[in-house]
Chains A and B, each alone.
Chain A
Amino acid sequence: MSIWEYANPKKFMQTSAWALPWVTGLAVLTLITGLVWGFFFTPDDFRMGSTVKIIYIHVPAAIMATGTWFMMLAASLIWLIRRHHVSVLAAKAAAPVGTTMTLIGLFTGAIWGQPMWGTWWAWDPRLTAFLILFLFYLGYMALWEAIEDPDTAADLTSVLCLVGSVFAIISRYAVLFWNQGLHQGSSLSMDAEEHVSDVYAWPLWVAIVGFGLLFVSLVLIRTRTEIRSRRLRALEARERMA
């Protein structure tokens, strides 16, 4: 059995129909567990007070924001190289999920930053790259809507995805490239100095898994919709020509 079998829309629809209830159920379970654990059963931080609880939504959302773009990059490359429609439809389906995650990262970051840094926003390398990534998401979705021919739209959005990957990389690794800015290093870094205490790290990992599963669930739902929508357009075109 090869992974390319799932490039067949029929096979994808069959497998995703089976997987979707399991993935969705696990997503709800892990999300609730991680967020309830983090929100209700972890202590305040001695410097940040109760705002530390924002970590359970801000960090997973930020990871998913850049992770989604990397998934879209992989799917776009598969489209450009192998011309599998399901892959580019999955990229298209993932974009609104990534946009929402980026928006959550920006909002929660600003809300958290105000009491901790004394400002809602700073033109810090990571924050700026994250904002540009958000604009790339909007541009990507607008490009899909602007082009009538689906294959041309797929080609152009895939190229845009390649270009935008630079900002996805910068937003994730900016703190390593530039030793400046307000944003601290990775909360789950291997470096013991940067790594958050285990009491926060465990529920954070559960929340990250929950956000990841929510992403998979939403992308499956939305990809199934895109496949159906593509088939609907094809049938309507066939009916018009008959």
Chain B
Amino acid sequence: MVELGKYAGTVLAAYGITILLVLGLVAISLRRGARVKRALEAQERRMAKNG
């Protein structure tokens, strides 16, 4: 394991916040993408059925 010495808290906090923010952004982007895709497919199906 890497030895971070007296700055361990500083380094780990910086990495922790970064990972949290990046994963949050990825999750939000994927979730909204999937939701909009589902809604568009449902709309296209409905319109095709109704002519």
- Identify the A interface with B (CB < 8 A): 39-40, 44, 49-51, 53-54, 57-58, 61, 96-97, 100, 103-104, 107-108, 111-112, 114-115, 214, 218, 221-222, 224-225, 228-229, 231-232, 235-236, 238-239
Which residues in A have their C-beta under 8 angstroms from that of B18?
A: 57, 61, 104, 107-108
Selected from B7, B25, B30, B37, the residue in CB contact (under 8 A) with A97 is B25
Query: Chain B: how many interface residues by the 8 Å CB criterion?
Result: 32
Chain B residue with the shortest CB-CB distance to A107: B17
A190-B28 Cα distance, complex, nearest whole Å: 38
Residues in A whose Cβ lies below 8 Å from that of B30: 221
Q: Chain B interface mostly helix, strand, loop or mixed?
A: helix
- Interchain CB contact under 8 A, B40 and A40: no
Q: From B30, which residue of chain A is reached at the shortest CB distance?
A: A221
| A-B interface contact total, Cβ < 8 Å | 93
Q: Is the CB of A224 within 8 A of B17?
A: no
Distance, CA A175 to CA B17, complexed state (A)? 26
Sorted nearest first, the 5 A-B pairs with minimum C-beta distance are: A50-B4, A225-B33, A108-B14, A232-B40, A54-B14
Q: Which chain A positions have C-beta within 8 A of B21?
A: 100, 103-104, 107
Tell me whether A236 and B11 are in contact in the complex, defined as CB-CB below 8 angstroms, given that A218-B25, A228-B37 are known contacts.
no
CA of A239 to CA of B29, assembled, Å: 28
Give residues in B with beta carbon < 8 Å to A.
2-8, 10-11, 13-15, 17-18, 21-22, 24-26, 28-30, 32-33, 36-37, 39-40, 43-44, 46-47
Taking a contact as CB atoms under 8 Å apart, the answer to whether B47 and A214 are in contact is: no
Closest residue of chain B to A238 (Cβ to Cβ) is B47
